């Protein structure tokens, strides 16, 4: 493409990868004026990936458009996916599989007790074969996924793993590089500019947004609030993914790794473990905008944005907050949010 810009090259490279259309795109970009006012600024725009379509929406549908297309090319007749119990990805795999008429086996782990609530309940309603590994971490889930695949192959099936593999993570970068292009178009059409984009990610989703921003000439800073792992380990991992994706796309963008901007300051004690700041942020968003965040990803990301706003780091800025979804997980954390003042024996004056 003689004379083409890096953005043109990225768009053309992305078109060469097959996709299964699942998400309703572009997802809305809307202002959050009451939230902005409550914080005393900055101006906040919400990118509503929670409205991406199928089931309860969520960011993983962009990724599944690529990974399920790959599975289709391999003539898969059953999907295998895994994650921690209230992870968004397995639930969205289950919904997408139902839409496409494919059976799916889900391997779930995690330290928390297993309950038919939140994402797990929706997986069951979609007809998924849900298998619980008590106490298993992601490495344990990953190994069990592979064992399930081997067992299926001995029975003559053609399974495809669509979570927790390196191929999936790199395809995630492609999906969210495409997101960055979409966001830039929406901002331009609205006559807007953004100083920063905030997202609850320390992996492929963040890496894709950063790659897209690089191709666009970095019109906005991409700020990642990781939901797992340390900032140092996540930054190294993201840099690896960006480099792999650039090679896969055949792009020669300048990337040193220093462009990665990921914080673990709002992670708390670990993945899926709510913090007071995240619970407060979820309440703040719901009470100002009527929009629900989740305790695993978006709540912690919003806690970061709130802290940056209140500390004065965002004075006079316009920021985009990426709502990656995860709303079903809220129901599995009901004990965290249930107000004690609403006990059956609560005195009447305690009621609002």
SS3 for 104? strand
Q: Find, among 38, 1, 80, 77, the residue nearest to 283 by Cα.
A: 38
Angle at 144 between CA 55 and CA 227, to 5 degrees: 55
Q: Are 64 and 25 in contact (CB under 8 A)?
A: no
Told to judge if 263 belongs to the known catalytic residues of this protein, a careful annotator would answer: no
What's the CA gap between 317 and 309, in Å, rounded?
9
Residue of 87, 172, 235, 278 with catalytic role: 87
Q: In sequence order, what are the beta bridge partners of 132?
A: 108
**For the chain, how far is it from start to end, CA to CA, in angstroms?**
64
CA quadruple 145, 149, 151, 157: dihedral positive or negative? positive
Q: Cα torsion at 78, 80, 86, 91 (round to 10°)?
A: -30
Q: Of 260, 167, 247, which Cα lies nearest the Cα of 207?
A: 260
Q: Which two tokens stand for residue 351?
A: 């009621």
Q: Give the active site residues.
A: 87
């Amino acid at each position: 493409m003689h004379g083409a810009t890096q953005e043109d090259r990225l768009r053309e490279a992305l078109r060469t990868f097959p996709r299964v259309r699942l998400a309703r795109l572009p997802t809305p970009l809307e202002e959050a004026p009451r939230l902005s006012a409550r914080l005393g600024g900055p101006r906040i725009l919400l990118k509503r990936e929670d409205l991406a379509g199928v089931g309860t929406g969520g960011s993983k549908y962009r990724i599944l458009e690529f990974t399920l297309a790959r599975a289709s090319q391999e003539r898969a007749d059953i999907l295998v996916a895994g994650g921690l119990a209230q992870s968004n990805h397995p639930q969205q795999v289950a919904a997408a599989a139902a839409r496409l008429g494919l059976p799916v086996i889900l391997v779930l782990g995690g330290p928390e007790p297993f309950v038919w609530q939140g994402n797990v309940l929706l997986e069951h309603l979609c007809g998924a074969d849900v298998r619980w590994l008590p106490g298993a971490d992601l490495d344990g889930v990953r190994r069990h996924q592979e064992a399930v695949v081997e067992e299926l192959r001995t029975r003559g099936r053609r399974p495809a793993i669509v979570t927790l593999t390196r191929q999936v993570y790199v395809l995630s970068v492609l999906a969210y590089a495409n997101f960055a292009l979409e966001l830039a178009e929406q901002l331009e059409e609205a006559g807007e500019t953004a100083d920063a984009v905030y997202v609850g990610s320390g992996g492929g989703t963040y890496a894709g947004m950063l790659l897209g921003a690089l191709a666009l000439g970095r019109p906005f800073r991409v700020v990642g609030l990781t939901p797992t792992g340390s900032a140092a380990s996540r930054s190294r991992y993201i840099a690896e993914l960006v480099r792999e994706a650039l090679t896969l796309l055949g792009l020669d963008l300048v990337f040193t790794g220093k462009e990665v901007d990921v914080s673990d300051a709002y992670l708390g004690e670990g993945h899926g473990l709510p913090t007071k700041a995240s619970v407060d942020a979820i309440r703040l968003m719901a009470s100002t905008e009527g929009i629900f965040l989740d305790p695993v990803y978006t709540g912690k990301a919003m806690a970061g944005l709130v802290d940056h706003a209140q500390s004065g780091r965002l004075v006079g800025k316009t920021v985009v907050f990426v709502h990656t979804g995860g709303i079903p997980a809220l129901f599995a954390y009901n004990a965290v949010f249930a107000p004690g003042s609403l006990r059956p024996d609560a005195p009447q004056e305690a009621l609002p």
